Each structure stands twice: as structure tokens, then as C-alpha cells.
Amino acid sequence: MGVAEDFAPSFTQKPQLRQEDEGNRLIFECQLLASPKPSIDWFRGETQLSEDHRTNMKIQSIGTNKFLVVLELDDVIETDAGLYKVKAKNKMGEVAASINLNFSRPLVNCLGRYQLSVAGQIYPPPTTPYLHTPPRAGPFRSHKHYKHHTIQQNIN
């Protein structure tokens, strides 16, 4: 046997999102298999991202031909919302996956913090239990606001 064969990148975990520092830092993570080690590009919409004082990208070996790919956004602002895409490429091929980041104001004022809404190609599915029967909006009360069929997930 001896030499391992080269192969195109493939995701073992598609992009997932978590937040730190009370929502001031967002971390997109995914894992993939590839040989040789792939080059990684991140995009928001059609714009390729580059590292700066708010944006950090890394790829870390976590096993034989297995890599953890990370995009960190610091000092998050509303204009950071959008479709994020990660592309992994080596001489054998390329693969891409996307995750959508949306912001919405809290329904109840939680110290002015944002709630995050995430959608896209996410695997595995979130483990948060969903509300099967949303609350019904009764007579309008200024301190209660309901949205029919809205699912919210706070990301800790």
C-alpha cells in the first residue's frame, strides 16, 4: 500500500453558525475531507472575503486528511447579513456550501441585542424543538407581539 490516493474535498459537516461574546462575534464552521489540503475561499453574496481587523479565516488539520474550516466575524453589524458561501478546492476538484445569515430585532427588547435567523444548507439539522402550534394573536396589546408561524432560535 504506502501512498494515500488524492481525492477532491467533500463536507463531513456543512457550515454551522454559533455566536460568542453576547452576539458580537459570529463563527461559521464546517469540516471536510480532502487530499491534498484544499485552499479555502469565503464569500458573502458574490464578494470574496479577505482577512481584516473584523474577519479571521483558518483551516486546521483535525485528523488524517480531515480539516476544520472557520470564518470568524467580530463586531457584528446588520450589514454582515447575507448568504455566506465556503468553497474548498484542490487539484482533484472543489466543493461549496452556503448558509444564510439574517438579523431581526427581538420581539421583546432584550437590551437591544439582535436575534439571529439562520437558513441554508445546514447539516445536521438543528436540535432546537420547534413550536408546532404557534401562539394565536389575541386583541392587540402594546407589550405583546406575535408572528404567526415564526420560529426563532437564539444561537448561544
| Residue 109 within any structural domain of the chain | yes
Average pLDDT score over the chain = 76
| Residue 1 within any structural domain of the chain | no
- Mind giving me the DSSP string for 70-127? EEEEES--GGG-EEEEEEEEETTEEEEEEEEEEEE--SS-STTPPEEEEEES-SSPP-
Top-confidence residue, 127 or 43: 43
Domain assignment of residue 52, given as a range: 7-120
Q: Write down the pLDDT at residue 103.
A: 77
| Residue 100 within any structural domain of the chain | yes
| Residue 37 within any structural domain of the chain | yes
Residue 11 pLDDT grade (very low, low, confident, very high; cuts 50, 70, 90):
very high
Q: Write down the pLDDT at residue 90.
A: 97
- CB contact set of 97 (below 8 Å; sequence gap of 6+): 11, 14, 15, 30, 85, 86, 121
**Number of domains composing the chain:** 1
Q: How far is CA 142 from the centre of its chain?
A: 34
CATH value at residue 114? 2.60.40.10
| Residue 28 within any structural domain of the chain | yes
Residue 80 pLDDT > 70, yes or no? yes
CA distance 11 to 18: 18
Q: Which of 6-10, 14-18, 88-92, 115-119 has the lowest mean pLDDT?
A: 115-119
Residue 113 pLDDT grade (very low, low, confident, very high; cuts 50, 70, 90):
low
Q: Write down the pLDDT at residue 55.
A: 96
| Residue 85 within any structural domain of the chain | yes
Summarised one tens digit per residue, pLDDT across range 30-70 is 999 999 999 999 999 999 999 999 999 999 999 999 999 99
| Residue 152 within any structural domain of the chain | no
| Residue 34 within any structural domain of the chain | yes
Q: Write down the pLDDT at residue 116.
A: 53
Residue 17 pLDDT > 70, yes or no? yes
